[in-house]
Amino acid sequence: MAQYIYATTARCCCSSARAHPAIPLQAPAPAPSSSRSPLRWRSAMGASDRLAVAAARPRHAAPCAATVLGEPLPASDDHGLVHPSADFAAQALVSSPQQYLEMYQRSIDDPAGFWSEIAETFYWKQKWSPEEVCNENLDVTKGPIKIEWFKGGKTNICHNAVDRYVEAGDGAKIAMYWEGNEPDQDGKLTYSELLDKVCQLANYLKSVGVEKGDAVVIYLPMLMELPIAMLACARIGAVHSVSFTPVCTSS
């Protein structure tokens, strides 16, 4: 297991980072059928596991009964869809499939207007030019291929993901849940705790010479240190590449 070395806990200043275009999501998948919190992370299955599960599924499955989120699940592994209750759905940013489809259609018809409204909810050190929200060319016969969003804008993704919640007084709220492969392996971090750890690692990276624009390869399993390292790179403007390592100690 790798050792994690943190430097000073002093918080580093945000550096500019380019805002990348967001891609409309596909239709939302059913909620996970677990009695534990759906927010917790689980380790991904290996390819052989997924093939085994796919092979075991019947080709013509019987209709599934729906279950309301928050109610006891039927005594069956094949319990079907899980629908949110009305109270639960009312708390969501997208509270119904119909609202999702309407939002998605608008993102197709008016991408500049739709994503500008979404971007307005972010922190920006410098706003983008209203005339250059989206500029793209995917036809090589019409010139160089390019995709540009929010040209002229400057922000920091780490600040948007962590700092602004602490600044808003929500530092004591849980920012991250982690769940290992065993029932007794889990953890959680508040926004304040997450910010401290991200700043520690960001400052360590700067102390060993990592600068804005440098590439950092992160080789970690599904631990909380993985998103901490990703946020630390984003904080100082370094480009990160994640190499997932689901290997055991005996391999």
User: Does the residue 72 lie in any domain?
Assistant: yes
79 lies in a domain? yes
188 and 117 part of one domain:
no
Instruction: Kindly report each contact of residues 68-73 with a partner whose C-beta sits within 8 Å and lies 24 or more positions away, as own/partner.
Output: 69/31, 73/33, 73/35
Residues 12-22, mean pLDDT to the nearest whole number? 41
Match 């917790």 to its residue by tokens.
40
- CATH number of the domain at 191, please: 3.40.50.980
Spatial distance between the Cα atoms of 180 and 177, rounded to a whole number of angstroms: 10
**228 shares a domain with 172:** yes
Domain of residue 227 covers 157-244
97, 127, 149 - which closes a domain: 149
> CA distances (Å), 24 to each of 145, 188, 212, in order?
20, 29, 29
pLDDT above 80: residue 225: yes
The tally of domains found in the chain comes to 2
DSSP-H helix ranges across 110-236: 111-119, 157-158, 164-167, 191-207, 225-236
d(CA 6, CA 200): 5
In a domain, 89, yes or no: yes
Handedness of CA 167, 88, 44, 243 (dihedral sign): negative
Q: Does residue 173 share a domain with residue 222? A: yes
- b/e for 194-220, b at 16 or more Cβ within 10 A? bbbbbbbbbbbbbeeebeeeeebebeb
> Model pTM greater than 0.75?
no
pLDDT at 214: 96
Query: Do 133 and 79 share a domain, yes or no?
Result: yes
Domain assignment present for residue 28? The answer is no
Query: Do 174 and 102 share a structural domain?
Result: no
More confident site: 88 or 247: 88
**In a domain? residue 137:** yes
- Which residue type sits at 162? V
- pLDDT over threshold 70, residue 238: yes
166 pLDDT band, cuts 50/70/90, is very high
Instruction: Among 149, 166, 190, identify where a domain stops.
Output: 149
Domain closes at, from 149, 180, 202: 149
